[in-house]
Amino acid sequence: MENFTASDGLRLSYVVDDYTDPWQPKETLILLHAVLGSSRRFYQWIPTLSRHIRVVRLDMRGHGESDVPDEKHFSFQRLVQDVIDLADHLQCETFHAAGSSAGAIVATQLALDHPRRVKTLANFAAVSGLKHTNIDHHQWIASVKAKGLRGFFESTIAERFPPGTDAGFVKWFVDEACRTDEDFFCCFVPVMREIDQSARLHEIKQAMLVVVPDEDPHISLAQYEAVKTHAPRCEFVVYQGYQHNITDAVPQRCAEELLRFLRQYGACR
């Protein structure tokens, strides 16, 4: 894992996975994880993707090995700027952006605010902001404060994964989530809950892949489908029989979907 300093002075961590042929030109894919996640949650995606494109996995501020900001150094726009800072650090003028859940909302804002830098956009289990979803962030925060992150996650596993999901994986997933600072989570969720990008979706000119589950208890399929109505170049794919965490439940399927999409637009062989 490597580190760099964001433009506001916070130390952020990232991983580069690149198994492309060194003599061939290459493009860059930046992967953005969900809330309470980290770059580590994409580990099963790497064998599928990194042979064909340079993959950069950022630990968003407050997550993984990156520093936890105070309230002065945290905002939605700051999450977006962190990705631009990382791309600048890597001397990467253009890149492909893909994200899971909250990370996908950040990726969408990148495409909106920096259209010349984002070549394609891929979103997994995300809508255009959480403002008009069924998520009750007050209940989430109250549950975390009452039970702790571990108790919160253990009580909501059925909302995330289908029955029969490997118990060892579920324990690892919960352990990873519990690495996040509880106070930061309670700051992060209300900020994300206020985001609404729906009025700007028509501005996204990049080719866009949207992959969603059909059994998410907090976001209806109709809410997910709103994006395909407004984004002009959106390919919309539904994974049937899955709850919210499709990027963890079927990581190889998601990675193969993304690779297919990137190949379709000439990002890699």
* Per-residue pLDDT tens digits for 38-61: 999 999 999 999 999 999 999 999
Rounded to the nearest integer, the mean pLDDT of the chain is 93
Is 152 domain-assigned? yes
Predicted local confidence at residue 217, as pLDDT: 87
Predicted local confidence at residue 130, as pLDDT: 67
Is 83 domain-assigned? yes
Predicted local confidence at residue 123, as pLDDT: 97
What are the beta bridge partners of residue 59?
13
Q: Record the tokens describing residue 197, joined without a space.
A: 């990008």
Q: Is residue 55 within 8 Å of 84, Cβ to Cβ?
A: no
Is 101 domain-assigned? yes
Is 248 domain-assigned? yes
Predicted local confidence at residue 137, as pLDDT: 75
In a 3-state reduction of DSSP, which class is residue 177? helix
CA distances from 152 to 5, 32, 180, 213 (A): 32, 23, 13, 22
Predicted local confidence at residue 71, as pLDDT: 82
Q: Record the tokens describing residue 96, joined without a space.
A: 């492909």
Predicted local confidence at residue 266, as pLDDT: 86
| Strands 234-239 and 207-213, sheet pairing | parallel
Is 167 domain-assigned? yes
pLDDT, tens digit (0-9, with 9 covering 90-100), for 186-212: 889 889 888 999 899 999 999 999 999
Is 75 domain-assigned? yes
Predicted local confidence at residue 158, as pLDDT: 85
Chain position carrying tokens 């997994």: 124
Is 61 domain-assigned? yes
Q: pTM of the entire structure?
A: 0.94
Is 269 domain-assigned? no
| Strands 54-59 and 28-32, sheet pairing | parallel
pLDDT, tens digit (0-9, with 9 covering 90-100), for 111-160: 999 999 999 999 999 988 767 777 777 888 888 889 898 998 888 888 88
Number of domains composing the chain: 1
The CATH number of the domain holding residue 139 is 3.40.50.1820
Nearest residue to 201 via CA among 99, 115, 93: 115
Which domain range does residue 78 map to? 2-264
Rounded CA gap, 208 and 215, in Å? 22
pLDDT, tens digit (0-9, with 9 covering 90-100), for 78-105: 999 999 999 999 999 999 999 999 999 9
Q: Angle 184-28-2 (CA atoms, 0-180°, nearest 5)?
A: 50
Percent of all residues in the chain with a pLDDT value above 90, rounded to a whole number: 71
